[in-house]
Structure 1
Amino acid sequence: MREFDYLIFIGRFQPFHNGHLWTLQHALERADKVVVLCGSARQARNPMHPFTVEDRERMMRLALPEDVQSRVFVVGISDRMYNDQQWLTEVQNLVDRVIAVDNSDVGSRQAQFRIGIVGPPRGARHADGGVAIGGAKRGNAEYLELFPQWQRVEAPELPDVHASRVRHAFFDPEREGDWPACAALLPPPVFAWLNAFRASETFANLQSEYLFLKRYRQSWAAAPYPPTFVTVDAVVIHSGHVLLVRRRSQPGKGLWALPGGFVHPDERIKDAVIRELREEARLRVPAPVLAGSMRANRVFDHPQRSLRGRTITHAFLIELAPTSEGLPKVRGDDDAERAKWVPLFEFNRMEEQLFEDHFYIVNWFLGQV
């Protein structure tokens, strides 16, 4: 009889490597079933999060022997970048749901079972930065402390196995020579799957974004210290709709985003918001009306919110009053190839299509009004 009925294993698995497999095998030795929660489940693909939940489950299944497949449940969990408690609640709900379905009883609850959570030893850290908790990266062992209701199970780590190393070799032509060596870091079927993925259009798009971001960071690499970028974003609400623009170029080419951009050296924050609205969305609302419709603002400064570098954005909620003329006319321009008003119910289904943390910014404001 094993020690646990269920062990919970949380990670990003971008990609699933030998270190992850080692931990999963350890969990299967200790528990009858393992519930794997894949973080950043509905985030748009980017060079740091290149694989969907389906991709990651496929890699895990390829790496596991057939006789343990039925003992592993793989579930995706979205980031909640600015609400840790909401994220923790979703973890609890997902685990509860898996247990209920597994036992064919909607009345089955966690308290009836021996449940633990598996992760690295206390104090363990490595170059890939940890586990995303509500969107925030915490130290590899620190996140386990957020689940006092589940017994902690420490799994020994494999040294020098980092997903970031694999991703750099995967995308960077200048590190092409490092890619064959990654075979030693990955389960053989996963390495083969990744090689096939490299022939896809999705890979080509991700590599293009990776190279753009690399050049972008190189442009300020000679600075005496890394710069902090200051940007603005406008959350414009009108009659149950939010204003979005589609990005014309990298990073995030083709993704939907909030109208916004960099603050000019000679302008104030509020002026920058109005300027960007006029430039990117050609919003036909007078500037004084926009300024008078600002209802709230907040600084969003999550250290990992942008792959471009340390980027702090000042976001403003602008609520426009309904009029007999309906939704104001908008048109994509400048950095935006398109602008449109999106019904809020539809917006809530668009997490995978939103740039960076813009989905979470909008939802933060909607939760405040």
Structure 2
Amino acid sequence: MKYDYLVFIGRFQPVHLGHLKVIEEALAQAGRVIVICGSARQAVSPRNPFTLAEREAMLRAALPTAWQNRVFVVGCSDRMYNDQQWVTEVQNLVDKVIAVDTASLGHRAAEFRVGIVGSPPGNGRARAGHYLDLFPQWQREPVEELSAIDAGRIREALFNDDGARFGACRNDLPAAVYDWLLRFRERDVYAQLAAEQRFLQAFRQSWAGAPYPPTFVTVDAVVIHSGHILLVRRRGMPGKGLWALPGGFVNQDEPIRDAVIRELKEETRLKVPSPVLAGSIRASRVFDHPQRSLRGRTITHAFLIELAPTGEGLPKVRGGDDADRAQWVPLFEFNRMEASLFEDHFYIVSWFLGQI
């Protein structure tokens, strides 16, 4: 074998025949394949509808018996705004898998031949695999993908028809995964995700007649007080029921800094005067990941607001406007809430906390 381990990174939403082809070719080159599922702890959405456990279940159902013990499945967070954190997590995951797999050998991970699979140069999808350049220590093993298979098209068919379009996707999926997805369509979470997908389609259709797709500008408030962060629970779609930063769209007639104070007050009824809030802004940053919002291209301006203790405890808050609840959350609890946060809000807060 050319390698002891080959690393295969993807989202697997859902697992399809293209993924199996990559794994088959990787196993021809390596003794083991380490499958790393991205978006492992994000809240489910029409773009990421399946949990890490569900994706592993799909993959295990599709793998031939002879491959089962040669394929490891682990999950990593996206770390949208910190590539080095993401790289470190992937490196740690690979190191731990190898350590557990070879515990009886007494070797270190660095002593094994490790590579990473990706599209060969010139492939039309190679640009999407730019992350492979972040792992120069692992030799890249070119693996040709089945370019005709589009996971986004499969998800669209899964959520947007009465079964006919999804049936047409059968040839792109392992039989076991197709059956798994048919069972998934009978669950309550499917109905919720399908409703959210319809909402998003209607939202995008509302500006479909524009001469070019709009770019939305929003604001988000990261309010910190005595080791707590102020969150709201979303009243409507998208992300109904998820926790989020207080924020929203910028009005046509207001400066961005005024917008964040307005949205904060509207959604939390925070009993702190607006001038005090404005004077408590400690930092701001633009967060503009192209895929940060399913509503369309949305760029947010986030503001870190640190409120000083007054001896009167945490200011009273209550949900208002687009939020059905507002709550102060201890930061140690927030760090475990990644799967309950809307869009990229967990990563926005994590970035600011790293600056404090």
* TM-score, length basis structure 1: 0.94
Do residues 99 (structure 1) and 98 (structure 2) align? yes
Q: 3-state DSSP class of the match of 1:179?
A: helix
**Per-residue CA distance 1:96-120 (angstroms, 9 max, x = gap):** 0111111126964222101111122
Which of 204, 207, 222 in structure 2 is aligned with 1:217? 204
Matched residue, 1:343:
330
Q: 3-state DSSP class of the match of 2:222?
A: strand
> Do 1:100 and 1:106's aligned partners in 2 also have CA atoms closer than 8 Å?
no
Q: 3-state DSSP class of the match of 1:289?
A: helix
Moved beyond 3 Å, runs of 4+: 105-108
1:39 is aligned with what amino acid? G
Matched residue, 2:254:
267
Looking at structure 1, the residues matched to 57 and 293 of structure 2 have their Cα atoms a distance apart, in angstroms, of 28
Matched residue, 2:182:
195
- The Cα RMSD (Å) is 1.3
Do residues 33 (structure 1) and 20 (structure 2) align? no
Equivalence map 1:307-322=2 (5 Å)? 307-322=294-309
**Structure 2 gap segments, 5+ residues each:** none
Looking at structure 2, the residues matched to 282 and 37 of structure 1 have their Cα atoms a distance apart, in angstroms, of 42
Matched residue, 1:24:
23
Matched residue, 2:137:
149
Matched residue, 1:118:
117
Do residues 232 (structure 1) and 219 (structure 2) align? yes
Looking at structure 2, the residues matched to 312 and 201 of structure 1 have their Cα atoms a distance apart, in angstroms, of 32
Question: Alignment identity in percent?
Answer: 67
> Do 1:118 and 1:155's aligned partners in 2 also have CA atoms closer than 8 Å?
yes
Matched residue, 1:74:
73
Q: 3-state DSSP class of the match of 2:320?
A: coil
1:266 is aligned with what amino acid? D
Looking at structure 2, the residues matched to 273 and 159 of structure 1 have their Cα atoms a distance apart, in angstroms, of 43
Looking at structure 2, the residues matched to 203 and 24 of structure 1 have their Cα atoms a distance apart, in angstroms, of 28
Shift of 1:29: 1.4
Looking at structure 1, the residues matched to 155 and 122 of structure 2 have their Cα atoms a distance apart, in angstroms, of 25
Which of 153, 158, 162 in structure 1 is aligned with 2:150? 162
**Per-residue CA distance 1:24-48 (angstroms, 9 max, x = gap):** 1111111111100000110110001
* TM-score, length basis structure 2: 0.98
Q: 3-state DSSP class of the match of 2:28?
A: helix
**Per-residue CA distance 1:44-86 (angstroms, 9 max, x = gap):** 1000100111111111101111122111110000011000011
Looking at structure 2, the residues matched to 296 and 158 of structure 1 have their Cα atoms a distance apart, in angstroms, of 45
1:13 is aligned with what amino acid? F
Do residues 14 (structure 1) and 13 (structure 2) align? yes
Looking at structure 2, the residues matched to 183 and 152 of structure 1 have their Cα atoms a distance apart, in angstroms, of 31
Which of 240, 263, 272 in structure 2 is aligned with 1:285? 272
Looking at structure 1, the residues matched to 306 and 297 of structure 2 have their Cα atoms a distance apart, in angstroms, of 29
Which of 322, 325, 331 in structure 1 is aligned with 2:312? 325
2:67 is aligned with what amino acid? V
Q: Count how many residue pairs are aligned between Structure 1 and Structure 2.
A: 356
> Do 1:34 and 1:71's aligned partners in 2 also have CA atoms closer than 8 Å?
yes
**Structure 1 gap segments, 5+ residues each:** 131-138
